[in-house]
Structure 1
Amino acid sequence: MTQLSFSRNERGDAESVVLHQGGYEQAAKRIDETKARAVADDPERRVKNKIPFPNSEALLRRIIAEHQRGEPDYDAMTPPLAALARAQAPLVKSEFDRLGLLQGVAFKGVLQEGSDVYDVRFDKGTLECGLTLAPDGKLSGIYFRPAL
């Protein structure tokens, strides 16, 4: 279930909103129109110019290492992603065990919805990996699939 809670000023204008979803809460303050346009343009600029979010590759390498050890950092994930990651952790670890040692990471680009995408080479195969961050900096999405 998803719910939005608004905080209003004395004139009744919305000043902030909180998204409540699956035990996760994300607060956002109202911003002016100029900043809103800049925020809206940023994903388009990242996609067009293939600009990863800061430290994207280092984050992906850390996530892979955590899963290889069988110790994902669930606190660094949004609660809905953490729940999925817990359920899939044994399968993900098994796949990383099968693939062997990490050999290299190559940035491919940014998907339309904002996910950074990488090709990740291991001893015994290559995966395409995508990751997305929530506004609070937590990991909100990740996928691993065989590279084509």
Structure 2
Amino acid sequence: MESVVLHQGGYEQPAKRIDERKARAVADDLEKRVKDKIPFPDSEALLRRVIPEHQRGEPDYDAMMPALAAVAHEQAPIVKAELDRLGALRSVAFKGVLQEGSDVYDVRFERGTLECGLSLAPDGKLSGIYFRPGL
């Protein structure tokens, strides 16, 4: 089999087979990112762009994978309301990389904090993002 297609939630996500050497290199790279806490390039800048987009109620859905864009569109009013409650962005601090590859940040606002995580698809589009109350 040369490829598979994941059919989920009305969307299709193709995946091409890669050889064992390439798969090992990808796994080793992720292991190093997790162990050494190395964010993917420009992830902080991306997060600093995404937060104001959500604060304005204008997320860039074209920069997201289709399944994420659908969820983000549905949840946009909830996310905007929470960001409005928190107020102005004060700081962004990188925490680390989760086992599945998401970069995680502590984000401080004038009236609270959030933990934010984001991940990228191989084509550079956002494949995952979350906001949850910070500690």
- TM-score over 0.5 (shorter chain): yes
Separation in structure 2 between the aligned mates of residue 56 and residue 119 of structure 1, nearest angstrom: 13
Partner of 2:86: 99
2:64 to 77, 83, 97: 77
Q: Which structure 1 residue ranges, 5 or more long, are not aligned?
A: 1-13
After TM superposition, the structure 1 = structure 2 runs for residues 58-73 of structure 1, keeping only pairs within 5 Å, are 58-73=45-60
Query: 1:105: Cα distance to partner?
Result: 0.3
Identity of aligned residues (%): 82
Shift of 1:20: 3.4
Counterpart contact for 1:77–1:139, Cα < 8 Å = yes
**1:31 alignment partner, SS class:** coil
Please say if residues 23 and 79 of structure 1, whose CA atoms lie closer than 8 Å, have aligned partners that are also in contact. Answer: no
Count the aligned residue pairs.
135
**1:1-148 matches, cutoff 5 A:** 14-148=1-135
Rg larger in 1 or in 2?
A: 1
Task: Give the distance between the partners of 1:116 and 1:16, measured in 2 at CA.
Answer: 28
User: Displaced runs of 4+ in structure 1, greater than 6 A?
Assistant: none
Between 1 and 2, higher relative CO (CA 8 Å, sep ≥ 6) is seen in: 2
Aligned alpha-carbon RMSD (Å): 1.4
What letter corresponds to residue 89 of structure 1 in structure 2?
A
